[in-house]
Amino acid sequence: MIRQIIHIDQEKCNGCGLCATACHEGAIEMVNGKAKLVREHFCDGLGDCLPGCPTGAITFEQREAPAYDEAAVLQAKAAAAQPAGAQPHSLGGCPGVRAAQFQTAPAEPAPAAAGKPVSRLGQWPVQIKLAPVQAPFFQGARLLVAADCAAYAYAAFHEDFMRGKVTLIGCPKLDGVDYAEKLADILRLNEIQSVTIVRMEVPCCCGLQSAVQRALQASGKFLPWQVVTLTRDGRILA
Protein backbone atom coordinates (compact mmCIF):
# COMPACT_ATOMS: atom_id res chain seq x y z
CA MET A 1 0.00 0.00 0.00
CA ILE A 2 1.03 3.64 -0.50
CA ARG A 3 1.21 5.47 2.81
CA GLN A 4 3.16 8.06 4.79
CA ILE A 5 6.30 6.69 6.39
CA ILE A 6 9.57 8.14 7.64
CA HIS A 7 12.80 8.35 5.67
CA ILE A 8 16.22 8.55 7.34
CA ASP A 9 18.97 10.25 5.35
CA GLN A 10 22.07 8.19 6.11
CA GLU A 11 24.37 11.05 5.08
CA LYS A 12 22.86 13.43 7.61
CA CYS A 13 22.49 10.88 10.43
CA ASN A 14 25.16 11.38 13.12
CA GLY A 15 24.35 8.19 15.01
CA CYS A 16 23.09 9.90 18.18
CA GLY A 17 20.24 7.37 18.55
CA LEU A 18 17.69 9.91 19.82
CA CYS A 19 15.20 8.92 17.13
CA ALA A 20 15.41 5.27 18.15
CA THR A 21 14.62 6.25 21.73
CA ALA A 22 11.78 8.55 20.65
CA CYS A 23 10.16 5.84 18.50
CA HIS A 24 7.68 4.25 20.90
CA GLU A 25 6.90 1.50 18.39
CA GLY A 26 10.47 0.17 18.10
CA ALA A 27 10.62 0.65 14.34
CA ILE A 28 14.09 2.27 14.39
CA GLU A 29 17.35 0.68 15.48
CA MET A 30 21.01 1.62 15.26
CA VAL A 31 22.82 -0.35 12.56
CA ASN A 32 26.55 0.17 12.07
CA GLY A 33 26.38 3.46 13.95
CA LYS A 34 23.45 4.85 11.94
CA ALA A 35 19.72 5.02 12.60
CA LYS A 36 17.75 2.72 10.32
CA LEU A 37 14.05 1.97 9.85
CA VAL A 38 14.26 -1.78 10.36
CA ARG A 39 10.56 -2.56 10.82
CA GLU A 40 8.41 -0.67 8.34
CA HIS A 41 5.25 -2.34 9.67
CA PHE A 42 6.04 -0.87 13.12
CA CYS A 43 6.18 2.72 11.81
CA ASP A 44 2.84 4.48 12.27
CA GLY A 45 3.94 7.47 10.18
CA LEU A 46 3.15 9.98 12.94
CA GLY A 47 6.75 11.14 13.28
CA ASP A 48 7.47 11.07 17.02
CA CYS A 49 11.09 10.61 15.98
CA LEU A 50 11.31 13.84 13.95
CA PRO A 51 11.65 16.41 16.78
CA GLY A 52 14.45 14.43 18.41
CA CYS A 53 16.74 14.49 15.37
CA PRO A 54 19.42 17.20 15.76
CA THR A 55 20.59 17.03 12.13
CA GLY A 56 17.26 17.00 10.26
CA ALA A 57 17.97 13.53 8.88
CA ILE A 58 14.37 12.35 9.24
CA THR A 59 11.57 13.37 6.89
CA PHE A 60 8.20 12.04 5.76
CA GLU A 61 7.69 10.38 2.41
CA GLN A 62 4.79 8.77 0.59
CA ARG A 63 5.77 5.36 -0.76
CA GLU A 64 4.82 1.74 -0.89
CA ALA A 65 5.22 0.14 2.53
CA PRO A 66 3.58 -2.56 4.63
CA ALA A 67 0.54 -1.47 6.60
CA TYR A 68 1.10 -0.40 10.19
CA ASP A 69 0.67 -3.53 12.34
CA GLU A 70 -0.48 -2.36 15.76
CA ALA A 71 -0.90 -5.92 17.04
CA ALA A 72 2.73 -6.72 16.26
CA VAL A 73 3.86 -3.52 17.99
CA LEU A 74 1.90 -4.37 21.13
CA GLN A 75 3.26 -7.91 21.12
CA ALA A 76 6.82 -6.59 20.88
CA LYS A 77 6.22 -4.15 23.73
CA ALA A 78 4.81 -6.93 25.91
CA ALA A 79 7.88 -9.06 25.22
CA ALA A 80 10.12 -6.17 26.25
CA ALA A 81 8.26 -5.70 29.53
CA GLN A 82 9.86 -8.68 31.23
CA PRO A 83 10.25 -8.76 35.03
CA ALA A 84 13.14 -6.79 36.49
CA GLY A 85 16.11 -8.97 37.34
CA ALA A 86 15.43 -11.68 34.77
CA GLN A 87 18.07 -10.37 32.39
CA PRO A 88 18.96 -7.04 30.84
CA HIS A 89 16.66 -5.85 28.07
CA SER A 90 16.95 -2.90 25.75
CA LEU A 91 14.46 -0.75 23.91
CA GLY A 92 16.64 0.33 20.98
CA GLY A 93 19.02 3.20 20.33
CA CYS A 94 22.75 3.69 20.60
CA PRO A 95 24.45 2.55 23.83
CA GLY A 96 24.45 6.06 25.30
CA VAL A 97 20.67 6.45 25.13
CA ARG A 98 19.43 2.87 24.82
CA ALA A 99 16.86 2.24 27.55
CA ALA A 100 17.74 -0.75 29.70
CA GLN A 101 16.68 -2.30 32.97
CA PHE A 102 18.96 -4.57 34.93
CA GLN A 103 19.19 -6.44 38.18
CA THR A 104 20.46 -4.49 41.17
CA ALA A 105 21.12 -5.30 44.78
CA PRO A 106 18.04 -5.91 46.95
CA ALA A 107 16.17 -2.85 48.12
CA GLU A 108 17.16 -3.43 51.75
CA PRO A 109 20.03 -1.39 53.22
CA ALA A 110 23.45 -2.87 52.60
CA PRO A 111 24.82 -4.79 55.62
CA ALA A 112 27.57 -2.94 57.46
CA ALA A 113 29.89 -5.91 57.02
CA ALA A 114 29.31 -6.17 53.31
CA GLY A 115 32.46 -4.19 52.53
CA LYS A 116 32.26 -2.31 49.27
CA PRO A 117 29.17 -0.21 48.57
CA VAL A 118 26.75 -1.60 45.99
CA SER A 119 25.18 0.26 43.09
CA ARG A 120 21.50 1.04 43.41
CA LEU A 121 21.07 2.11 39.80
CA GLY A 122 18.42 -0.08 38.20
CA GLN A 123 17.94 1.47 34.76
CA TRP A 124 19.57 3.36 31.92
CA PRO A 125 19.68 6.14 30.80
CA VAL A 126 19.61 8.41 33.84
CA GLN A 127 19.80 11.83 32.17
CA ILE A 128 16.36 13.45 31.93
CA LYS A 129 17.15 14.63 28.39
CA LEU A 130 17.93 11.08 27.25
CA ALA A 131 15.31 9.10 29.16
CA PRO A 132 12.35 7.69 27.19
CA VAL A 133 8.92 8.87 28.28
CA GLN A 134 7.72 5.28 28.50
CA ALA A 135 9.71 2.23 29.57
CA PRO A 136 8.99 -0.92 31.60
CA PHE A 137 11.14 0.30 34.47
CA PHE A 138 8.77 3.23 35.09
CA GLN A 139 5.79 1.00 35.87
CA GLY A 140 5.06 1.04 39.60
CA ALA A 141 8.26 3.01 40.23
CA ARG A 142 9.13 5.47 42.93
CA LEU A 143 10.80 8.24 40.97
CA LEU A 144 13.91 10.12 42.09
CA VAL A 145 14.64 13.36 40.22
CA ALA A 146 18.02 14.66 41.30
CA ALA A 147 20.51 17.37 40.49
CA ASP A 148 23.50 15.74 38.84
CA CYS A 149 25.82 17.40 41.40
CA ALA A 150 24.00 15.70 44.28
CA ALA A 151 25.73 12.33 44.08
CA TYR A 152 29.13 14.05 44.25
CA ALA A 153 28.18 16.16 47.25
CA TYR A 154 26.42 13.46 49.27
CA ALA A 155 28.55 10.37 49.93
CA ALA A 156 25.74 7.90 50.65
CA PHE A 157 23.60 8.96 47.70
CA HIS A 158 23.01 5.43 46.37
CA GLU A 159 21.93 4.00 49.73
CA ASP A 160 19.97 6.95 51.08
CA PHE A 161 18.25 8.18 47.92
CA MET A 162 18.57 5.82 44.93
CA ARG A 163 17.78 2.56 46.71
CA GLY A 164 14.45 1.20 45.44
CA LYS A 165 13.85 4.08 43.04
CA VAL A 166 14.14 4.89 39.34
CA THR A 167 16.69 7.69 39.07
CA LEU A 168 16.63 10.65 36.67
CA ILE A 169 19.23 13.42 36.88
CA GLY A 170 19.74 16.78 35.24
CA CYS A 171 20.99 20.33 35.57
CA PRO A 172 18.65 23.04 34.23
CA LYS A 173 21.50 25.54 34.06
CA LEU A 174 23.82 23.37 31.95
CA ASP A 175 21.17 21.63 29.85
CA GLY A 176 19.39 24.89 29.12
CA VAL A 177 16.00 23.19 28.76
CA ASP A 178 12.74 23.09 30.66
CA TYR A 179 12.20 19.54 31.89
CA ALA A 180 8.58 20.12 32.90
CA GLU A 181 6.89 18.87 29.72
CA LYS A 182 8.91 15.66 29.48
CA LEU A 183 8.55 14.89 33.17
CA ALA A 184 4.80 15.49 32.91
CA ASP A 185 4.64 12.92 30.08
CA ILE A 186 6.57 10.41 32.19
CA LEU A 187 4.21 10.93 35.12
CA ARG A 188 1.10 10.84 32.95
CA LEU A 189 2.00 7.80 30.82
CA ASN A 190 3.38 5.55 33.57
CA GLU A 191 2.18 4.27 36.93
CA ILE A 192 4.57 6.30 39.08
CA GLN A 193 4.00 5.81 42.82
CA SER A 194 5.83 8.80 44.29
CA VAL A 195 8.39 11.48 43.44
CA THR A 196 11.45 12.55 45.44
CA ILE A 197 13.40 15.66 44.39
CA VAL A 198 17.01 15.95 45.55
CA ARG A 199 18.50 19.35 44.76
CA MET A 200 21.48 21.42 45.80
CA GLU A 201 21.19 24.63 47.81
CA VAL A 202 22.47 26.73 44.89
CA PRO A 203 19.90 29.01 43.20
CA CYS A 204 20.04 27.34 39.78
CA CYS A 205 18.65 24.15 41.32
CA CYS A 206 15.36 25.97 41.87
CA GLY A 207 14.74 25.29 38.19
CA LEU A 208 14.83 21.55 38.75
CA GLN A 209 12.39 21.70 41.64
CA SER A 210 10.09 24.06 39.71
CA ALA A 211 10.07 21.76 36.67
CA VAL A 212 9.04 18.75 38.76
CA GLN A 213 6.33 20.69 40.56
CA ARG A 214 4.90 21.95 37.27
CA ALA A 215 5.11 18.44 35.83
CA LEU A 216 3.15 17.05 38.77
CA GLN A 217 0.46 19.66 38.22
CA ALA A 218 0.33 19.13 34.45
CA SER A 219 0.15 15.34 34.78
CA GLY A 220 -3.29 15.53 36.36
CA LYS A 221 -2.26 12.99 39.01
CA PHE A 222 -2.10 13.38 42.77
CA LEU A 223 1.18 11.80 43.81
CA PRO A 224 3.08 12.01 47.08
CA TRP A 225 6.26 14.02 46.64
CA GLN A 226 9.03 15.54 48.73
CA VAL A 227 12.05 17.80 48.32
CA VAL A 228 15.46 17.23 49.91
CA THR A 229 18.00 20.04 49.70
CA LEU A 230 21.73 19.37 50.06
CA THR A 231 24.43 21.83 51.03
CA ARG A 232 27.52 22.13 48.87
CA ASP A 233 29.58 20.34 51.53
CA GLY A 234 27.25 17.34 51.53
CA ARG A 235 24.80 17.90 54.40
CA ILE A 236 21.02 17.61 54.26
CA LEU A 237 19.64 21.11 54.65
CA ALA A 238 15.93 20.38 54.39
- Give percent above pLDDT 90 in the chain: 53
4 or 92: whose pLDDT is higher?
4
* Per-residue pLDDT at 106: 52
Range scoring the smallest mean pLDDT among 80-89, 97-106, 141-150, 189-198? 80-89
Closest listed residue to residue 200, CA positions, set 157, 155, 236, 164: 236
| Domains of the chain, first to last | 2-73 (3.30.70.20), 104-230 (3.40.50)
Closest listed residue to residue 186, CA positions, set 95, 119, 114, 123: 123
User: Which residues are registered as beta bridge partners of 31?
Assistant: 34
* pTM of the predicted protein model: 0.61
177 or 110: whose pLDDT is higher?
177
32 or 214: whose pLDDT is higher?
214
